[in-house]
Chains A and B, each alone.
Chain A
Amino acid sequence: MNASSDTMTANPQALEVLQGFPGTKLEQLYRQPSTALAVFRRMLPHLAKTIVMAMLYMPNPFLASDLDAWIRPDAVAEKEQALLVLTSLHIMSTSLQAQGPRAYILGKAFAKSLRQALTGSGEHKSFGVPCRPPGNDVVDVKTLDDHARRQWEDILYYMVGSTTVGVEGQSHISDATKSLLELGNFVDKRGRITQTGFTFLLQEVNAQVWSLLIVYLNRAPELLKMDSVDILSFIFMLGSLELGQGYSTANLSSTQKQMLDDLGDFGIIYRPSLKTPIFYPTRLATTLTSDASALHSSAAAPTPTFDTGLAGGSGAASKGYIIVETNYRLYAYTESMLQISVLALFTRLTMLFPNMVTGRLTKTSVQRAIAQGITADQIISYLAAHAHPQMLKSTPVLPPTVVDQIRLWQIEGDRMTTTSGYMMIEFATEAEYRDTVEYAETVGLLVWKSDAKRCFFVNRIEQIRSFMSNRRAARA
């Protein structure tokens, strides 16, 4: 399966949303250099970035034959993947010249914005207008982190609260956020957590923020009469802001000003008071378009010094707290009710100590979680992501026996797998069939084939379609 390759760098949810946008809207979106930079960094597969950068300052269209010569034959699958993402995001298109060989060009708006982002030129002010607060009440990074943590934990508490006794009544989230969670189907009408909600809970913070923002993006235009391009470009702008720096609200559009309140509720931005025209992005915002850990307790200096410049965006190690033994026993050094109740989703907890809980991963507890819609992979990645430093010293981090057993427990329920896709039939010639099926196999789309019946099954059609039309054009 090649589907994993587009999640390598890209944020799958946000990528899907962007791919669903019509070309004109994307064009509008790419006019902001900060957006172009964020899309480039966060949405594109690695090879696609390389291709875009090679083409960025190229005066002529990039000939398809040159591109083929540049990329190794054994990386065809990656190339096709990169080209697919680039064309679906309207970043790259085939040159319009009817005569001559096939060539690729970058979208004008995207190329111009990305060049502006790299050179820092233009008059766009899309990287935020910094401003100093009146007086000397500068907000420090710790305040911002506390605000982000408090607001975001409140949301999680609200969701978990419906399942666990003891954490109820700890959340104070606004009605707007409540209704948003309901619209996103994270909780149902009575405020009880749903399957989507469970999946949401086990994601890492960055993915959670994106999930929530995407619900916001999908729903806000119709409910609040907001412009989706404005919303997205604001989100991308937030990702390129600097932690600990105040920004002026003066040159935001009306939609974006409206968003400030909601984003403040999520803990993504912080406003000292509603009167001053200034906002501070929190760590949740500044890491939106990076894959660095979204919430650190250690506050990195806002400007990289010699030492933190070295550490780069990767930041300090986040502290894990879970130890899993080969006998399925689990020890979690935590006091947080939130963490305990998340663990309780798939663990049979037995003992509670002042600073730790113990439990076991049992067949019943794991299968109960699976019945609630949590997947084995989510459990495993949650355990791995929060593994105790002591666990991190071993490779692999989690005991293989436990990992395999969790997967087996899930598979017990799945006797049948379904793949949605396309059946390709009625090929005119044997050669056409053979070429196409070979291509499908190299790009990793082929699910099943029958040479005798001259038909095969693929899970995605776009690349096959373009391959077949190119092949036909080459023949004609």
Chain B
Amino acid sequence: MNAIDGTDRHVRDSDNSPPPSLLTVILDTNPHAWALLSDTLPLSKAVANLLVFINAHLSFNHANQVAVIASHIQRAQWLYPTPHPPRSSSSPEENGTSTPTPPSATKYHRFAIIERELQDNLSRVISQTTAADLTSSTTTQIAGALSIALSHISRATQLSSPNDSSGISLDSTGPTLSNPTDTPTDPADGTPRARRSPLTSRILIVSVSGDLAAQYIPVMNSIFAAQRQRVPLDVLKLAGDTVFLQQAADATGGVYIAPSSPSARAGLLQYLMMGFLPDARARAALVMPGGGEVDFRAACFCHRRVVDVGFVCSVCLSIFCEPLEEGECLTCGTRLSLGAAVAAKPVVVPRPKKKKKRKVGDITGTSTPMSAGTPGP
């Protein structure tokens, strides 16, 4: 008799089919960082591994989707899917060569399309990078790429409409094949949808460059947006060390793996296949890598320095590394006055001898590793 109990019904409905999943890969293409890695892991090899990983993701489910964004030094750029229409003014010569080649007999058609588009777009990104670009900046536009990824996810989530999103039972046309001639209402008429779309999304950041302190605020905003959209940010840190990406993975429930040694980097594909391939549904059944110490330090709003101890505006919570000269918050303009006692350095001044012996946790009350500074670019 349990079968007719109403509570049973919904559980079974949602259990029947694993939801399609959207994987958005943000590939850090910072030429400076890849140049450092070129001995152990050249970019071409990393991209080849990434393609196998993407194909593996697509082969999980026919409805799985993928998007790849390059976070380059000057801008963030789509690698797949190629945005349409392409700007005809910038690349007129490509319209002539865009005749679709017939699919290969040894490649699954979808895999072949992604491979071709991704490689075309990546080589375009690289060829369009000028020497002036390289000298002007050494960091990567991770914040821009994250924003693009999040807006893409939110668009894709809205596009997977309730009709075809609720699994096999609802998106079939059944044994009857002709369409009804009369449909009084359109499901896509903007009415609020009662069903939550089950498209599960996640972002994988393949990061090679360090020091994102300059983009602290936009990155943190993206992290909070991802947290709100329930999008886990997975981070594969091949080189460099950034505080904020680890915080991103921690805050959104993503996976953070940093294979730092050359031998570990050689196993890039295995990291991808085992650590990052499981989607939200599979993760529920798996013990995911993670844990470890998370560096919760923040960057100040005035000089973008990563600080252990700083000054915080009591109104808008902006962080500053040193007392403000004007006594006015740079963000909200509130007049702040520091008492005479703390007007000097915030670092504990007296007893320098004891400071060495003191435990780290005593100062900040969190698990902040004091010894690990953030390396420069």
Tell me the A residues contacting B by CB distance below 8 Å: 4-5, 7-9, 33-34, 37, 40-41, 46-47, 49-50, 53-54, 56-58, 69-72, 75, 78-79, 116-132, 149, 152-153, 156, 200-206, 208, 240-242, 245, 287, 289-297, 303-307, 309-321, 333-336, 338-339, 342, 355-356, 381-382, 384-390, 392-397, 400, 403-404, 407-408, 411
Contacts and interface: CB of A to CB of B under 8 A. Distances in A.
B108 A245 contact: no
Given A127-B106, A242-B103, A290 B63 contact: yes
A389 B159 contact: no
B234 to A, nearest CB: 15
Contacts of B274: 53-54, 58
A337 B183 CA distance: 18
Q: Which of B15, B174, B181: most chain A Cβ within 10 A?
A: B174
Contacts of A156: 175-177
Interface string B61-89: 11111000000000000000111100000
B3 to A, nearest CB: 6
A298 to B, nearest CB: 10
Given A205-B177, A339-B178, A386-B174, A50 B286 contact: yes
Contacts of A149: 177-178
A408 B170 CA distance: 23
19 contacts: A46-B281, A49-B60, A71-B287, A118-B56, A120-B106, A127-B105, A240-B108, A242-B103, A303-B100, A306-B82, A310-B159, A312-B65, A317-B163, A317-B171, A333-B182, A355-B180, A393-B193, A407-B4, A408-B4
A65 to B, nearest CB: 13
Interface in B146-171: 155-156, 159-165, 168-171
B340 interface: no
Given A205-B172, A304-B81, 11 more contacts: A33-B106, A118-B111, A200-B175, A240-B109, A305-B84, A313-B62, A314-B63, A318-B164, A355-B182, A388-B183, A393-B187
Interface in B248-266: none
Interface stretch (B6-14, B236-244, B312-320): B6-14
Contact of A338 (B155, B169, B178): B178
A305 B170 contact: no
Q: Which of B63, B162, B172, B182: most chain A Cβ within 10 A?
A: B172
Contact of B285 (A75, A121, A202, A393): A75
B176 A46 contact: no
Given A120-B111, A313-B63, A50 B176 contact: no
Interface stretch (B16-24, B123-131, B218-226, B323-331): B16-24
Contacts of A336: 176, 178
Contacts of B357: none
B169 A7 contact: no
A364 to B, nearest CB: 20
Contact of A72 (B106, B164, B169, B287): B287
Given A127-B104, A385-B169, A208 B4 contact: no
A336 B111 CA distance: 39
A394 B103 CA distance: 43
A338 B176 contact: yes
A331 to B, nearest CB: 11
Contacts of A355: 180-182
A356 to B, nearest CB: 7
Contacts of B35: none
B267 to A, nearest CB: 9
Contacts of A408: 4
Contacts of A291: 17, 61-63, 168
B102 interface: yes
Contacts of A386: 173-174, 176
Contacts of B172: 204-206, 293-294, 318, 385
B105 A129 contact: yes
A410 to B, nearest CB: 9
Contacts of A318: 163-164, 171-173
Given A125-B105, A389-B163, A397 B170 contact: yes
Contacts of B372: none
Contacts, number: 291
B112 interface: yes
Contacts of B191: 393
B149 to A, nearest CB: 13
Contacts of B195: 392, 395
Q: 4 shortest A-B CB distances, which residue pairs? A: A290-B62, A317-B163, A204-B172, A75-B285
Nearest to B83: A306
B142 to A, nearest CB: 23
Nearest to B187: A389
Contact of A54 (B64, B165, B194, B273): B273
Nearest to A322: B180
A339 B177 CA distance: 8
B308 interface: no
B169 A384 contact: yes
Contact of A204 (B52, B159, B175): B175
Nearest to B18: A46
B105 to A, nearest CB: 4
A241 B112 CA distance: 12
A217 B64 CA distance: 30
Given A124-B106, A392-B187, A403 B62 contact: no
Contacts of A356: 182
Contact of B103 (A122, A130, A152, A387): A130
Interface in B208-224: none
B55 interface: yes
A9 B285 contact: no
Interface string B327-349: 00000000000000000000000
B270 interface: yes
A37 B20 CA distance: 17
Nearest to B189: A389
A266 to B, nearest CB: 13
Contacts of B84: 305-307
Contacts of A411: 1, 3-4
A47 B284 CA distance: 10
Contact of B162 (A304, A313, A315, A392): A392
B180 A319 contact: yes
A208 B175 contact: yes
B322 interface: no
Nearest to B273: A53
Contact of A314 (B10, B13, B165): B165
Contacts of A122: 106
Given A152-B177, A321-B180, A130 B102 contact: yes
B135 interface: no
A410 B310 CA distance: 70
Given A242-B109, A309-B65, A396-B10, A47 B285 contact: yes
A204 B168 contact: yes
B366 interface: no
Nearest to A9: B18
Nearest to A242: B109
